[in-house]
Amino acid sequence: MGQHLKAASLRGATLVFLVAVVMLATAGAEEAEGQGGALRLTLQQTVEMALDKNLDMKVAWEDIEAARQRQKEARTGFLPSLKGRYSYRRLSEVPYAVIAGNRFDFADRNQYRLTGTIEQPLFTGLSTLSNYQLARLGMDVAKLQLARTRLDVALDAKVAYFAILTADKLKEVAEQAVEQLQAELEVAENFYRVGMSPKIDVLDAEVRLAEAKQQLIRAENDVSLAKARLNTILRRPIDQDIIVADTLCHQPYERTYESCLEVSLERRPELSEADRNVARAEKEITLAKSAYYPEVTVSGNYYRAGDEPGLDGSDFVDRENWDVMAEATMTFFEWGKTRHATSEKRARLRQARQALEQLKDAVRLEVKTSYLNLQTAEKNIWVAKKGVESAEENFRISKERYLEQVATATEVLDAHTRLTEARTNYTRALAEFNVARARLVRAMGAEEAS
């Protein structure tokens, strides 16, 4: 009988264990499913996803494809062209001549003609070559515009990523503030009940707690807005959740200003694009001056004619004929049209060179500004960190003094407010440093710090 009871107990325990395992597995599956809706991203994954999904990148790729097709179109200018023409002509009367009193017709009244022409340009005053070179430079510019767009999209993704981290950390600070003020309110209420503090201490604690809860609501909204902004950059539904890895830290930047400036002048796609614009302006001058030269072409023509649509010839024309012709064409006078066009292109060239120099100045200023902002942000981190340490110690001392009734509740609440502000400042200082670092890297024409 005892053995049967032990066996029954063992089976019951086994059944309970299996049920517990199934419940834990189900709970784990539900938890995993609940977390599955949130996209977890690192900073590098965020940048890569933005570069893959962002519409600005797709537009830039289409510009490259358009430039590629323009280059192919310009290349066809070196190749022969084939033309065909079919015509019908009806004369009001047949041409004739009267010889010795006799009439002789020497043309058909209905004239059908098919002409096939193959034409090869030999010299076009360098216009064909210039057009091709301009198209090739246009391809280079499109690629540089893609590189510039890539840098801008990467920077936007980084800024949005750091905005989420900042909002999350400020939310944590707000939550800590609510928890601590809730505890302070309980202490104030307990002291009030035993007559150790006045009612005003409780009211002050309640007001501070209400303000902290309002700040927490604003912090939660900031988190939602930051995630919506990143979702927009990544082209995801605006309300989907995103969980980002915490990379908000302080890593000193070792490059000197001179090194940053040197890299930026070498790598900025905007400068390379402006340099290509100067080259294009030079080719535009060559293209305008091509009108000073003759155009030389060679062509071959095949003719088929007749007085019927079938083009089988007639009594007056042969069925088939052909010829080869070389032709040189030159315009001698157009009231200075070519000279004026050339002068205009020279002005555009000067303008392009001035724009290049202006852009170099702007890049130097941008690098200088970004570098100084990074240094300022780095120093602010140290100040904010010391502020947090001081505020934490001040809050600890004020709280202990209040518990010993040698300090007022107002002093504790003020110390807590100071601590919350210090933590907020430290979080913002970290965020500003990371954003300033990303902006300096962009000013150097790079995606990653190096």
Identify the pLDDT of residue 21.
Answer: 36
From the list 52, 46, 38, the residue with the least C-alpha distance to 230 is 46
- Please list, in sequence order, all residues whose beta carbon lies within 8 angstroms of the beta carbon of residue 438, skipping any fewer than 6 positions away: 155, 158, 159, 162
Q: What is the pLDDT of residues 309-330, one digit of tens each?
A: 988 888 888 899 999 999 999 8
The position carrying tokens 């400020």 is: 170
Rounded (10°) angle between helices 409-443 and 199-234: 20
Q: Specify the 3-state DSSP secondary structure of 437.
A: helix
Task: Report the alpha-carbon distance of residue 231 to residue 221 in Å, rounded.
Answer: 15
With 0-12 CB in 10 A as exposed, 13-18 as middle and 19+ as buried, what is 166?
buried
From the list 309, 303, 301, 302, the residue with the least C-alpha distance to 108 is 309
Mean pLDDT score of the chain: 86
Low-confidence ranges of the chain (pLDDT < 50): 1-36, 450
Identify the pLDDT of residue 30.
Answer: 34
Identify the pLDDT of residue 12.
Answer: 45
Identify the pLDDT of residue 221.
Answer: 95
Identify the pLDDT of residue 18.
Answer: 38
Q: What is the pLDDT of residues 243-294, one digit of tens each?
A: 998 888 888 888 899 999 999 999 999 999 999 999 999 999 999 999 899 9
The per-residue DSSP string of 300-353 comes to EEEEEEESSTT--B-SSS-SEEEEEEEEEE----STTHHHHHHHHHHHHHHHHH
User: Do the strands 39-41 and 242-244 form a parallel or antiparallel pair, or are they unpaired?
Assistant: parallel
Task: Report the alpha-carbon distance of residue 315 to residue 317 in Å, rounded.
Answer: 6
CA dihedral 74, 77, 83, 89 (to 10 degrees): 90
Identify the pLDDT of residue 252.
Answer: 84
pTM: 0.79
Considering only CA atoms, give the Rg of the chain: 41
